[in-house]
């Protein structure tokens, strides 16, 4: 799944029906900000069922370990901040500047 969320300068509301994913999105953002890693229980049940099926097929000898691993989708979240009002970081303000520093640390943690 790929989604783009554009946050407004002042306020962004997430509106949707029950089970649309509003709380899941907030939990995911909290997880990233707090530095908590994903656990198996964080995945939706259909995704877990696919992982169970891949392992079952591997244990029965129906697929190779490599095929089993390839059946498990990679989980990734990327945050892109486009601050087009000013080009220099000095003009971003304290909170946004701290957020950008945090994002650089997070990027190193996720991709290195």
* Beta-carbon contacts of residue 103 (< 8 Å; ≥ 6 apart): 79, 81
pLDDT for 43 equals: 80
* Beta-carbon contacts of residue 48 (< 8 Å; ≥ 6 apart): 40
H/E segment holding residue 67: helix 65-71
Q: What is the number of other CB atoms lying within 10 angstroms of the CB of residue 62?
A: 10
Q: SS3 for 92?
A: coil
pLDDT for 21 equals: 78
- Determine the Cα–Cα distance for residues 99 and 78; give it in Å rounded to an integer: 14
High-pLDDT (> 70) share of the chain, %: 62
**CA distances from residue 103 to 96, 98, 111 in whole angstroms, order as listed:** 10, 9, 12
Residues 42-71, mean pLDDT to the nearest whole number: 92
pLDDT for 112 equals: 45
* Res 52 pLDDT > 90: yes
The string of pLDDT tens digits covering residues 68-110 is 999 988 777 666 666 565 544 545 455 566 666 666 666 665 5
Of residues 38 and 68, which shows the higher confidence score?
A: 68
């Amino acid at each position: 799944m790929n989604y783009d969320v554009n946050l407004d300068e002042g306020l962004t509301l997430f509106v949707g029906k029950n089970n649309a994913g509003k709380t899941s999105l907030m939990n995911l953002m909290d997880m990233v900000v707090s530095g908590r890693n994903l656990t198996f229980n964080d995945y939706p049940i259909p995704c877990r069922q696919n992982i169970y099926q891949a392992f079952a097929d591997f244990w029965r000898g129906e697929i190779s370990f490599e095929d089993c691993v390839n059946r498990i989708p990679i989980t990734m979240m990327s945050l892109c901040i486009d601050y087009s009002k000013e080009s220099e970081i000095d003009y971003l303000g304290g909170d946004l500047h701290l957020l950008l520093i945090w994002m650089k640390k997070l990027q190193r943690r996720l991709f290195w």
